[in-house]
């Protein structure tokens, strides 16, 4: 079937479409309803069915003759270790860990917080919870103690799984001290903590509460998979975006498994035995979906990488991993490629490697500007596919579905709506906007399997945050437009649309122009308050390594570029060169925080920020242009 035939089928007969997709999952009990819409907007997929996600990710492949195929490759340049696990080896480790959890009193429906670094045991922890029907909540390793405490209070875990430390390039992060502090601050106390001792930093244990991971597993007994309802929660993943209090996104078991497996085959065009590398962290949704669950459900080998795109040890780090492990498809953030481009703009490090097995690069997490996409295409000589999705959905909303039909690439657009998603662009009054006009991007309900069911213990918050703005639609929070070919262009967050004298302009459009300058490595544009025009754009630019041209000259060239490409209406008259941009640990640029700094309004330092010290650098830089700060963290 063509893309259009597949897409039309998914919207015209979603129950038949997803029932067919669900045939690829092993069920203990079939569903009574494919879609239960009796309590909208709390839709349920595959009601009445029973399955086990861990069984589908591990045990069934062993039963189907793939016991000795590599399931997981662990590559840690910061820890100087590499390991491979077959499906049988990974299943056996998971079954033993599940036995430890059972011995600690964890049962179906109990919550387990996982606060760990990028090591194989983190993957095992997630799968062990799924094996016994416990609900895991992975908190990004190294999160501040108060943020971890908030998540402990909300999830109320029976136990917490953690490790002695994380490794950040050349420094150790003392997870155990952060964990101890978080539990001390939390009003809810877990019964036990299971601690994996890393050789780089062994830690002392608290008697009666802490249990040694390695010792417990050595004394454990394997346990089998527990059937759970398709509508039972698999995990809680807290997201706060870049500001605000965390929201616990709830993912189900059945719809999630169906969507993950379908996406591997139809979006990424991967089969059993291929090697897939999502260069993310298990603490983020990409790690949940595409380091752990989707590849293993598809019997695809997954790579777990504990390192960076640059600095571990150099800008050739990604090429080394792709060559060494015969990676077929890489999925990473545009930020990673901008970092490589900044340090190695001519791609000299790639000359040391042969990527003969590599066939596709997928990008997501931040909008991929055309310059970065073309740079990657010219360097790698493979298709570079931008696609767009969110923590809330767990998989792609808009993508070039290579497993169905490869559509022409338009640089700057993630292509078309993925089957199952009815994506529309509305104005503030809820009316569809004309082709090419920017508006609020929404998804008509019901959304396909795999998307969030609700927020943990907060049904009203779920409705308020996502469903209340437009009746019958999920509000994505992003702004953009559809062109005449129905390609979607995701330009910015709704809050990042700049209103310049009544003209709605997206930050993405500005950034696309700035990124096209040959000396620019990465950039961000924010709207700052202006008494005359309401808002005006301000560009913040990071240059590539080795640039010799004067900063003032580059700034004037950037202003002229915007005038030529967008026009005088943009009122783009200010840009500044900075050393680095403030980002979350997953690579998202903190535009809203920088806007608050520039406008002298209060803001909360996001829990997900990579390095809070960057904000002080931004403060100092903005003061040069006369912008202030009223910090409230």
**Residue 502's pLDDT band (cuts 50, 70, 90):** low
Instruction: Tell me if 185 sits within 8 A of 177, measured CB to CB.
Output: no
Residue with tokens 């990465």: 522
CATH 3.40.50.12780 residue ranges in the chain? Answer: 3-307+387-480
- Assigned token pair, 276: 């897939």
Element (H, E) at 250: strand 247-252
For the chain, state the CA radius of gyration. 24
Lowest mean pLDDT, pick from 46-50, 255-259, 546-550: 546-550
pLDDT on residue 588: 84
pLDDT above 90 coverage of the chain, percent: 81
The answer to whether residue 242 scores a pLDDT higher than 50 is no
Grouping H, G, I as helix, E, B as strand and the rest as coil, residue 522 is strand
* 372-398 residue pLDDT tens: 999 999 999 999 999 999 999 999 999
CATH 3.30.300.30 residue ranges in the chain? Answer: 501-624
Mean pLDDT of the chain: 93
Strands 50-51 and 228-229: antiparallel
pLDDT on residue 632: 42
The answer to whether residue 244 scores a pLDDT higher than 60 is no
Residue of 632, 629, 514, 633 lying closest to 576 (CA atoms): 514
The answer to whether residue 553 scores a pLDDT higher than 60 is yes
* 295-319 residue pLDDT tens: 999 999 999 999 999 999 999 999 9
Provide the residue count of the chain: 633
To which CATH superfamily is domain 501-624 assigned? ANL, C-terminal domain (3.30.300.30)
Burial class (CB in 10 A: 0-12, 13-18, 19+), 392: buried
Summarize the chain as % helix, strand, coil (round to 5): 35, 25, 40
* 187-202 residue pLDDT tens: 999 999 999 999 999 9
To which CATH superfamily is domain 3-307+387-480 assigned? ANL, N-terminal domain (3.40.50.12780)
What mean pLDDT is predicted for residues 470-493?
94
Lowest mean pLDDT, pick from 134-148, 219-233, 323-337: 134-148
The answer to whether residue 605 scores a pLDDT higher than 90 is no
Residue with tokens 């015209």: 12
The answer to whether residue 501 scores a pLDDT higher than 80 is no
Lowest mean pLDDT, pick from 23-32, 142-151, 547-556: 142-151
What mean pLDDT is predicted for residues 512-538?
88
Lowest mean pLDDT, pick from 104-118, 422-436, 488-502: 488-502
**Residue 240's pLDDT band (cuts 50, 70, 90):** low
Is the bond leading into 41 cis (omega within 30 degrees of zero)? yes
Query: How many helices and strands in the chain, by DSSP H and E?
Result: 20, 31
What mean pLDDT is predicted for residues 403-417?
97
- Assigned token pair, 121: 């045991």
Instruction: Tell me if 228 sits within 8 A of 253, measured CB to CB.
Output: yes
């Amino acid at each position: 079937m063509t893309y259009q035939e597949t897409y039309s089928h998914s919207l015209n007969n979603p129950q038949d479409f997803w029932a067919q997709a669900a045939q690829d999952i092993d069920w203990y009990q079939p569903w009574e309803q494919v879609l239960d819409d009796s309590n909208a907007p709390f839709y349920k997929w595959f009601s009445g069915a029973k399955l086990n996600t861990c069984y589908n990710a591990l045990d069934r492949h062993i039963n189907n003759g793939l016991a000795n195929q590599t399931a997981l490759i662990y590559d840690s340049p910061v820890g100087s270790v590499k390991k491979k696990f077959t499906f049988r080896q990974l299943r056996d480790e998971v079954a033993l860990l599940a036995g430890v959890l059972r011995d600690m009193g964890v049962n179906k429906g109990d919550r387990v917080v996982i606060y760990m670094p990028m090591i194989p045991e983190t993957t095992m922890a997630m799968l062990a919870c799924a094996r016994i029907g416990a609900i895991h909540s992975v908190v990004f390793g190294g999160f501040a103690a108060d943020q971890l405490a908030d998540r402990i209070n909300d999830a109320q875990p029976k136990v917490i799984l953690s490790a002695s430390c994380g490794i950040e390039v050349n420094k150790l992060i003392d997870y155990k001290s952060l964990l101890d502090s978080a539990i001390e601050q939390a009003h809810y106390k877990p019964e036990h903590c299971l601690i994996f001792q890393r050789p780089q930093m062994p830690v002392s244990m608290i008697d009666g509460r802490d249990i040694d991971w390695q010792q417990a597993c050595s004394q454990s007994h394997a346990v089998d998979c527990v059937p759970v309802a398709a509508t039972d929660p698999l995990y809680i993943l807290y997201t706060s975006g870049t500001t605000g209090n965390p929201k616990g996104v709830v993912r189900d078991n059945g719809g999630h498994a169906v969507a993950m497996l379908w996406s591997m085959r139809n979006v990424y065009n991967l089969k059993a035995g291929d090697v897939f590398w999502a260069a993310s962290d298990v603490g983020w949704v990409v790690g949940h979906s595409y380091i752990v669950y989707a590849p293993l459900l598809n019997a695809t080998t997954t790579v777990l990488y504990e390192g960076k795109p640059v600095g571990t040890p150099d800008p050739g780090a990604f090429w080394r991993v792709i060559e060494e492990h015969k990676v077929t498809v890489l999925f990473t953030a545009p930020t990673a490629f901008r970092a490589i481009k900044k340090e190695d703009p001519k791609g000299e490090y790639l000359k040391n490697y042969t990527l003969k097995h590599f066939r596709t690069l997928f990008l997501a997490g931040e909008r991929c500007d055309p310059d970065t996409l073309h740079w990657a295409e010219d360097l790698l000589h493979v298709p570079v596919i931008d696609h767009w999705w969110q923590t809330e959905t767990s998989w792609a909303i808009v993508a070039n579905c290579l497993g169905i039909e490869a559509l022409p690439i338009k640089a700057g657009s993630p292509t078309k709506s993925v089957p199952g998603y009815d994506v529309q662009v509305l104005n503030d009054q809820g009316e569809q906007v004309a082709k090419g006009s920017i508006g609020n991007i929404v998804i008509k309900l019901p959304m396909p399997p795999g998307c969030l069911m609700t927020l943990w213990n907060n049904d009203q918050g779920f409705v308020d945050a996502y469903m209340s703005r437009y009746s019958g639609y999920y509000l994505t929070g992003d702004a953009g437009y559809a062109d005449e070919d129905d390609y979607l262009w995701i330009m910015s967050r709704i809050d990042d649309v700049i209103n310049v004298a009544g003209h709605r302009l997206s930050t993405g459009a500005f950034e696309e122009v700035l990124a096209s300058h040959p000396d620019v490595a990465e950039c961000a544009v924010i709207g700052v308050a202006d008494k005359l025009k309401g808002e005006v754009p301000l560009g913040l630019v990071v240059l590539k390594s080795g640039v010799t041209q004067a900063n003032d000259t580059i700034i004037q060239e950037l202003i002229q570029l915007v005038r030529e490409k967008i026009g005088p209406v943009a009122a783009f008259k200010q840009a500044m060169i900075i050393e680095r941009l403030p980002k979350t640990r997953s690579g998202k640029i903190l535009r809203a925080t920088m806007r608050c700094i520039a406008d002298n309004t209060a803001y909360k330092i996001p829990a997900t920020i990579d390095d809070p010290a960057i904000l002080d650098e931004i403060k100092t830089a903005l003061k040069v242009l006369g912008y202030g700060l009223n910090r409230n963290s």
